């Protein structure tokens, strides 16, 4: 596109933009100002491309994929082959340094523990960001990304693609129209994990593949020897890198709950699980959240509500009236809204909502219909000016607080030995009722064995640590190995 434009054309374009009808072309304002015309293609870089990142980038291939970064070049070779024109990197920091001025947007699909680090730096550079779920590894990181998005006015989206689907919108419309009455209890579940969990820390160190930069994978976490059980993909079950089945799937399953019931910060939370090990998420877990009364909607009240989570094979009790033999697991999980008038059930991603009564309400549509793919809806938002932008289906202003709910469940499971409802001050990100002298121990190794026909229990525990300090570290991680987050705006 020519950089020359007539004065008349500039004034016409400017007037249209002021009316919210278009965005001034980048050829007029310049790429350095962060404006991109709707007709232009975004220059997108991907960080963590070997797994889900590849699926995201394929949905963005109508744009310019200019940079690909992954710590494992063998795992990512198929992605490099698919986008041969993109420059390849091991370290996202080097990619930002070399390509920063030419990048418009970044897709982050690394292990959970580096999401915030990579996305925060991109946002401070003025780049739009798409971040896979869970948005972050900790409560503090979620709050940080929310505020950075507001400060830098970039387009953002979390990779919970169900938020772009019709099921979530249908759930919201039925609830807001009063079709199921007041909701005081919600039960949710997933059939995950489908990766190993409940494992003791491996004692042997495997040889690091020549194509893997293990130090870059570790990033801000504590250093540990490489073992094949951690990578690829199985990092999800290890606390230093992932958030277990809850963190992996709750951003899909709890989203219609969070949005349909206008939830904010929980006031109380408590978790329980199978044997809790120091390093690895348990085989199965359950969490109870309590959310306070919210402002009533025009057609329905929003009373205090209890939200339950189950995974690892645990399931809620079957609701009364559900047809015998009907499988409530729809695409990986399910949600049961217990209303005073009816029971609403949907699947993972909010798919296929239905009422136990069999009614099919014709409620007015209140939610914006997303006609693009989840990724391309983000591209659409990237190309709109901040003043006229229509937010994505899962912008950080919503996804950030929602993700705080998700990782709060992880906190509850990891603090379960306190055996109490934990009272949460969401505004200040702290628990208010952990006794000052309470301690936490976790199991390093389960030493169960059979000796002379009799069981012997010989668990190895960590040394007890102060529970408040332990909780605070889970809320806001201490970054290691020289990595730092930007300051909270």
pLDDT of residue 41: 96
Q: Supply the DSSP symbol for 237.
A: G
| Sequence-separated (6 or more) residues with CB below 8 Å from residue 401 | 142, 146, 264, 265
CA pair distance 393, 51, nearest whole angstrom: 23
pLDDT of residue 452: 84
Q: What's the mean pLDDT in 67-96?
A: 98
pLDDT of residue 113: 98
Q: What's the mean pLDDT in 120-143?
A: 98
CB atoms within 10 A of CB 486: 15
CB atoms within 10 A of CB 203: 8
Instruction: Report all structural domains of the chain as residue ranges with CATH numbers, in order of start.
Output: 7-163+373-396 (3.40.50.720), 165-369+403-425 (3.30.360.10)
pLDDT of residue 10: 35
Provide the angle, in degrees to the nearest 10, between the axes of the packed helices 467-475 and 396-414: 150
CA pair distance 68, 338, nearest whole angstrom: 45
User: 3-state class of 420 per DSSP?
Assistant: coil
- Taken in order 175, 332, 253, 377, the sign of the CA dihedral is negative
Mean pLDDT lowest among 38-42, 125-129, 205-209, 278-282: 38-42
Tokens of 30: 């310049």
Q: What's the mean pLDDT in 126-137?
A: 98
Mean pLDDT lowest among 76-90, 405-419, 420-434, 437-451: 437-451
Task: Considering only residues 34 and 340, tell me which one the structure prediction assigns the higher pLDDT.
Answer: 340
pLDDT of residue 448: 81
Kindly write down the DSSP assignment for every residue of 113-140, as one continuous string. GGHHHHHHHHHHTT-EEEEPSSS-SSHH
Tokens of 319: 């609701």
Residue 326 in this model has a pLDDT that exceeds 60: yes
CA of 456: how far to CAs of 275, 444, 446, 452, 460, in Å?
17, 17, 10, 10, 13
Are 431 and 471 within 8 A, CB to CB?
yes
pLDDT of residue 11: 33
Q: How many CA atoms lie within 13 A of 393 on its CB side?
A: 27
pLDDT of residue 39: 52
Q: What percent of the chain has pLDDT over 90?
A: 89
Q: How far does CA 37 lie from the centroid of its chain?
A: 29
pLDDT of residue 464: 96
Q: Is 59 left (phi over 0), alpha (psi -120 to 50) or beta?
A: alpha
Q: What's the mean pLDDT in 28-46?
A: 62
Tokens of 292: 């306070």
Closest listed residue to residue 185, CA positions, set 298, 267, 303, 296: 303
Return mean pLDDT, the chain. 92
Q: What's the mean pLDDT in 346-366?
A: 97
Residue 488 in this model has a pLDDT that exceeds 90: yes
pLDDT of residue 455: 86
Q: What is the pTM of this model?
A: 0.91
């Amino acid at each position: 596109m020519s950089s020359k434009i007539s004065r008349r054309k500039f004034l016409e374009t400017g007037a249209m933009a002021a009316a919210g009808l278009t965005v001034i072309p980048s050829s007029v304002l310049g790429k350095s100002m962060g404006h991109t015309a709707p007709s232009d293609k975004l220059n997108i870089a991907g960080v963590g491309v070997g797994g889900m990142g590849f699926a995201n980038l394929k949905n963005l291939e109508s744009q310019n994929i200019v940079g690909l970064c992954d710590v494992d070049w063998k795992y990512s070779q198929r992605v490099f082959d698919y986008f041969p024109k993109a420059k390849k990197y091991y370290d996202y920091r080097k990619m930002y340094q070399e390509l920063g001025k030419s990048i418009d947007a970044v897709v982050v699909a690394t292990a959970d523990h580096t999401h915030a680090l990579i996305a925060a730096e991109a946002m401070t550079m003025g780049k739009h960001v798409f971040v896979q779920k869970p948005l972050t590894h900790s409560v503090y990181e979620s709050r940080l990304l929310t505020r950075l998005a507001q400060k830098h006015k970039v387009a953002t989206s979390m990779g919970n693609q169900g938020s772009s689907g019709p099921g979530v919108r249908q759930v919201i419309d039925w609830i807001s129209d009063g079709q199921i009455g007041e909701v005081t209890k919600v039960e949710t579940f997933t059939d995950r994990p489908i990766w190993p969990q409940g494992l003791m820390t491996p004692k042997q160190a495997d040889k690091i593949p020549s194509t893997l930069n293990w130090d870059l994978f570790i990033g801000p976490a504590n250093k540990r020897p490489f073992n094949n059980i951690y990578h690829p993909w199985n990092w999800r079950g290890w606390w230093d890198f992932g958030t277990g089945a809850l963190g992996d799937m709750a951003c899909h399953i709890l989203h219609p709950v969070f949005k349909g019931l206008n939830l904010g910060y929980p006031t109380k939370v408590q978790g329980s699980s199978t044997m809790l090990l120091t390093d690895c998420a348990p085989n199965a877990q359950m969490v109870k959240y309590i959310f306070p009364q919210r402002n009533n909607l025009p057609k329905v009240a929003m009373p205090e509500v209890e939200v339950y989570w189950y995974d690892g094979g645990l399931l809620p009790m079957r609701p009364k009236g559900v047809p015998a033999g009907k499988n409530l697991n729809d695409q990986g999980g399910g949600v049961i809204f217990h209303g005073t008038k009816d029971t609403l059930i949907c699947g993972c991603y909010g798919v296929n909502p239905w009422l136990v009564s069999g009614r099919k309400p014709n409620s007015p549509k209140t939610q914006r219909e997303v006609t693009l793919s989840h990724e391309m809806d983000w591209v659409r938002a990237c190309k709109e000016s901040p003043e006229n932008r229509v937010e994505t289906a899962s912008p950080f202003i919503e996804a950030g607080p929602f993700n705080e709910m998700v990782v709060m469940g992880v906190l509850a499971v990891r603090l379960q030995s306190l055996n109490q409802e934990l009272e949460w001050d969401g505004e200040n990100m702290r628990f208010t009722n952990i006794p000052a002298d309470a301690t936490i121990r976790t199991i390093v190794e389960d030493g169960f064995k059979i000796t002379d026909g009799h069981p012997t229990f010989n668990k190895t525990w960590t040394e007890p640590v102060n529970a408040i300090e332990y909780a605070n570290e889970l809320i806001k991680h201490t970054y290691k190995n020289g990595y730092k987050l930007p300051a909270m705006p």
